[in-house]
Amino acid sequence: MSGRPWPGRPPGPGGHGASAAEAVRLRRLNRWQAECLQEDLGDLYVESSGAPAGEEYRNRQDFLRRLTDDVRRPGFALVVAETTTLVGCAFGFPVRRDGSWWRGFAGGLPRSVEQLTASGHVFAITEIVVHPHEQDRDIARRLQERLVADHHASLGTILVPAADRAAHAAFRSWGWQEIGEVHRPPGPTVLRALVLPLGKRTAANPDGLAHDARTQRPE
């Protein structure tokens, strides 16, 4: 399964500035609330996609199908960003300890990532959507960090199509690190595996990818 960033162009610098970011409220929704809000989320996705005329309906249905599939996953979580209207959302689920998320990873998985996965400290973000009129990068950054932190995870992860250079550049600018590529036949798509460390950065662990057995999540 591949994570997809918001489908329009990444929010650029400038725009509304800090005042817009401060006005945005983040709110976590449970499964029932997410299902009740799915039509509004679908509308937000279409408004943010910049899809060619005639493709909006199909893209909207694809998005809603992905949302419906993820809602059923254990630990599913969704955070919305709102002012007087809905301006963004991000959702995902905890990565299973068996490492199935990393299926098709080319080469050896970094040991720190493997340890964090085995201890239940990794959260997969599968979708980030930000309204194109909200130009502050901080909104998407706050969404992703809130989603990961709420699950007491030490590491966020997302899989981005290698051809989507704009999304890749945006995630890198927010502190995400690329750790390799994922190949999942029979499809030809190559995915870039990105991680967002939330652990403490120390001299011994400058990348923040430290494993702490004391905070291991229960089975």
Task: Please spell the DSSP secondary structure of 132-155, one letter per residue.
Answer: TT---HHHHHHHHHHHHHTTT-SE
- Please state whether beta strands 86-94 and 122-130 pair in parallel, antiparallel, or not at all (unpaired): antiparallel
Among residues 7, 3, 9, the alpha carbon closest in space to that of 137 is found at 9
* Band of pLDDT at residue 112, cut at 50, 70 and 90: very high
Q: Is 83 exposed, middle or buried (0-12, 13-18, 19+ CB in 10 A)?
A: middle
Phi, psi of 89 (to 5 degrees): -160, 160
pLDDT at 114: 95
pLDDT at 212: 45
Tell whether the torsion through CA atoms of 49, 54, 57 and 58 is positive or negative: negative
* Band of pLDDT at residue 136, cut at 50, 70 and 90: low
Q: Alpha-carbon distance 50 to 95, whole Å?
A: 30
Structural domains in the chain plus CATH codes: 18-215 (3.40.630.30)
pLDDT tens digits along 75-111: 999 999 998 889 999 999 999 999 999 999 998 999 9
Percent of the chain with pLDDT over 70: 77
* Band of pLDDT at residue 218, cut at 50, 70 and 90: very low
pLDDT tens digits along 140-195: 889 999 999 898 899 999 999 998 888 888 888 888 999 999 998 877 689 999 99
Task: Give the amino acid at 11.
Answer: P
